[in-house]
Structure 1
Amino acid sequence: MNISLFKASLLSTSLLLAACVTSSPTGRNQVLLFGGAEMSQLGVQSFEEMKKTQTINKDPKTNAYVQCVSTSITSTLGKQPDFEQWEVVVFDSDQVNAFALPGGKIGVYTGLLKVAKNADQLAAVIGHEIAHVQANHSNERLSTSKLAGYGTQLGQVALQSTEYQEIGMTALGLGVQYGVIMPYGRAQESESDILGLHLMHEAGFDATQSVELWKNMAVAAGGSEPLEFLSTHPSNETRINNLQNEFNKLTKNNKTKPLCSL
């Protein structure tokens, strides 16, 4: 490919990006290349596969507890455009984790229930995961990965010319790794912390318990947490500071606290 074709490729990429740029719920720019129905289908397919390959918890009390917390939050969202209702599944695993997928799928690992000490803390996690879906983070991440791959192809062409060598090096290495993919991961996590805080608050849970949750997470990590600079997740300390700063923006909520207990 000659330089003229390379310039044309860059121009077409720029036009594509301009057409697909939107704003997240917090006003951050996003590039979304996929439709909601596409993402929902991917989420549903992935969830069905997980249910086939992972052990599903059958304890009625545990399931009722997780369902209560999840439903209390999802009921504040109203009707969703790409699916009828949220599905919640509890998986038997020591993982201290939970997730939500496009298409209205929520998974909670039993290991999380040992760290999230009460319904408010569990709501902080589930609210955070639902916020990823509401903010189109899966779409954004998939779109970024696709663009990174396309950028690498353009970079290989760019290296053929000293005029575009710097652009090519950026696309092939440092720029793609640190300038696009990794910071987006941290931005998405921080955004979901804030959005999730508001979701749990709107559902009637005690938002201050989100800080207690991350203190518990820090203890559970046992000092093994990776350095924030090389992680796609904010440090627990950063998360706690961000959440504490956001408390002042919460408006009074007169909604009755959900009666969810294990």
Structure 2
Amino acid sequence: MYQNKILICLVFALFIIFPLQSITADSPELPSLGLSSSYDISLNQEKLLGQGWLRQFRAQSKLYNDPLTQNYVEGLVRRLATWNRNLDMNDFDILLVDQRQLNAFAVPGGVVGVNTGLFTFAPYEDEFVSVLAHELAHISQRHFARRVQASQDIQWKTMAGLLAGILVASQGNADAGIAAIAGTQAAAIQSQLAWSRNYEQEADRIGMETLVAAGYASEAMPAMFAQMQRLTSLSGRPPEFLLTHPLTESRIADAQSRADQQAKQAVRVRGKDYEMLRARAIFHQYSNADDAFSLFSRQQGSEASLQYAHALKAKSNQNLKKYLELITDLANQDPDWLLVQFLQVEALTEVESWDEATSKLNDLLLFAPGYYPAQQLQVEIFSRQQAWGEARRSLQKLSQTRPNDPVVWFQLAEAAGKVDRQIQLHQARAEYFQLTGRFRQAFDQLDLALEQAKLQNRPWVVQSAIRERRRDLENLRSLMEI
């Protein structure tokens, strides 16, 4: 049983990260799988495997912590999921990975990862969406379950060498990861990887169906493929995405053929929110503001997004007055645009105009009470003014709506410590540690919370709840343990 868990998890990690350029053998056509229950790995097992992998990835990778972009991508994935007719889930974990490389990935159990570099190389929202639709298709078609069934004869001596390479590759150092993996008995799993082209073609087909059903132009998918080809020709090596999603001539031709067959083509979508977030991601990735502005403005975008890029350039150059003026002008031009109203409050916060920022933020939260970026910005305003009691109460509410967000728990622990709420401090730290795969530290924090509860003579129900949470986490760790 224990060995089976290790085999499944390592094969899964191999499926996500192992390079596939060397595959040349033809493989048989695969039927559309959907949510068949005839496979050895159940949907619940996939969820547990995905959660275990997610925790390890969080602990070892640099993530892009931007609530505005996080909220946008989460909403986009949920929307696309409703249009994938084979996907019977709406609970997703979205990872924004702080890497310049063009990459995205899907993990069984509803984990979807996107590199910030994808924003750079996808000037249109529909191109960005085509990649997400493709990744959701990998999940809905249960490609992981198929690969596990085809991998039962992988020898154990192959696996130890694979793990080291997989962990290196997940950090964005693909060459080192590939070298480590190549040093193992890679030939032993060649036959399993040869299925990949068929998985990719099926994900393209389902992804395009999802793309079109959601109202986007089918042409966006071959357009994104063309972007990848151009990047390969310019740099001399394929982007990270193509290391695990091999792009063959037949895939490109099939995608273009499907796009051409659409009876009525939708209009290409740049996406006004998307353009703003793309500018934001590019300026985050490049320390030189001139380079960032040049890269963003290379493609013809909307006037609003170009003005936002000018504002970000001014901010990078410490010209906060001009930054605020440009953002305020944007907000005045379109009072109903939620994103730019948020940007104005963010700019007011940056210049420490606390009264105006608080007033506008309260109005924003009245208009959109569940808007996560505004809730996080409220926490930031409280924290920067050292109003830790208010910050703690806001984070307490956020922890109920976003219980699987380690950032929220980290912030809650800090705020609780500032107001000497020792029990809550240790409980929040425990949640942060378990969500980042450090269960031993989580147990230690819960033990400290219980000790504090006893010292403070807290009611039995409080102590019992802490013990119960520890048992829950012990059970979770045993289920996800590899």
- TM-score range relative to shorter protein: 0.5 to 0.7
Per the TM alignment, residue 236 of structure 1 is displaced from its structure 2 partner at its CA by 4.8
Larger helix fraction of residues: 2
1:37 corresponds to? 44
Count residues with an aligned counterpart: 209
Aligned partners of 1:215 and 1:236 also within 8 Å = no
Aligned partners of 2:87 and 2:140 also within 8 Å = no
For 2:237, which of 214, 219, 224 is the aligned residue?
224
Please give the alpha-carbon distance, in whole angstroms, between the structure 2 residues aligned to 1:84 and 1:196.
Answer: 17
2:213 corresponds to? 202
Q: Whose relative contact order is higher, 1 or 2, with alpha carbons under 8 Å and at least 6 apart?
A: 1
For 1:241, which of 237, 253, 265 is the aligned residue?
253
- Report the 3-state secondary structure (helix = DSSP H, G, I; strand = E; otherwise coil) of the residue aligned with 1:107: strand
1:156 corresponds to? none
Alignment pair present for 1:75 and 2:82: yes
1:186 corresponds to? 197
Please identify, of 65-74 and 95-104, the stretch whose mean Cα deviation from structure 2 is larger: 65-74
Per the TM alignment, residue 66 of structure 1 is displaced from its structure 2 partner at its CA by 2.3
Per the TM alignment, residue 40 of structure 1 is displaced from its structure 2 partner at its CA by 1.5
For 1:56, which of 63, 71, 85 is the aligned residue?
63
1:128-167 Cα distance to aligned partner (Å, 9 max, x none)? 11101111111112222224449x9xxxxxxxxxxxxxxx
1:161 corresponds to? none
Per the TM alignment, residue 126 of structure 1 is displaced from its structure 2 partner at its CA by 0.6
Please give the alpha-carbon distance, in whole angstroms, between the structure 2 residues aligned to 1:247 and 1:238.
Answer: 14
Please identify, of 121-130 and 66-75, the stretch whose mean Cα deviation from structure 2 is larger: 66-75
Larger strand fraction of residues: 1
| Aligned amino acid, residue 236 of structure 2 | G
1:158 corresponds to? none
- Report the 3-state secondary structure (helix = DSSP H, G, I; strand = E; otherwise coil) of the residue aligned with 1:145: coil
Aligned partners of 2:102 and 2:118 also within 8 Å = yes
2:114 corresponds to? 108
1:204-240 Cα distance to aligned partner (Å, 9 max, x none)? 12220111111111122233249xxxx8744353322
TM-score, normalization: structure 2?
A: 0.38
Distance 1:173 1:121, change over 3 A: closer
Per the TM alignment, residue 37 of structure 1 is displaced from its structure 2 partner at its CA by 1.2
Per the TM alignment, residue 61 of structure 1 is displaced from its structure 2 partner at its CA by 3.4
For 2:151, which of 134, 145, 155 is the aligned residue?
145
Please give the alpha-carbon distance, in whole angstroms, between the structure 1 residues aligned to 2:70 and 2:125.
Answer: 13
Please give the alpha-carbon distance, in whole angstroms, between the structure 1 residues aligned to 2:123 and 2:250.
Answer: 21
Please give the alpha-carbon distance, in whole angstroms, between the structure 1 residues aligned to 2:230 and 2:78.
Answer: 28
Per the TM alignment, residue 73 of structure 1 is displaced from its structure 2 partner at its CA by 0.5
Aligned partners of 1:186 and 1:232 also within 8 Å = no
1:7-65 Cα distance to aligned partner (Å, 9 max, x none)? xxxxxxxxxxxxxxxx74279xxx83221211121012111221222122122333233
Please give the alpha-carbon distance, in whole angstroms, between the structure 2 residues aligned to 1:247 and 1:80.
Answer: 22
Alignment pair present for 1:134 and 2:147: no
Aligned partners of 1:68 and 1:260 also within 8 Å = no
| Aligned amino acid, residue 194 of structure 2 | P
Per the TM alignment, residue 247 of structure 1 is displaced from its structure 2 partner at its CA by 2.3
- Report the 3-state secondary structure (helix = DSSP H, G, I; strand = E; otherwise coil) of the residue aligned with 1:40: helix
Aligned partners of 2:86 and 2:141 also within 8 Å = no
1:166-195 Cα distance to aligned partner (Å, 9 max, x none)? xxxxxx998x655x3232011111111111
Taking only the aligned residue pairs, the percentage that are identical comes to 25
Distance 1:200 1:173, change over 3 A: closer
TM-score, normalization: structure 1?
A: 0.67
Aligned partners of 1:183 and 1:232 also within 8 Å = no
2:3 corresponds to? none
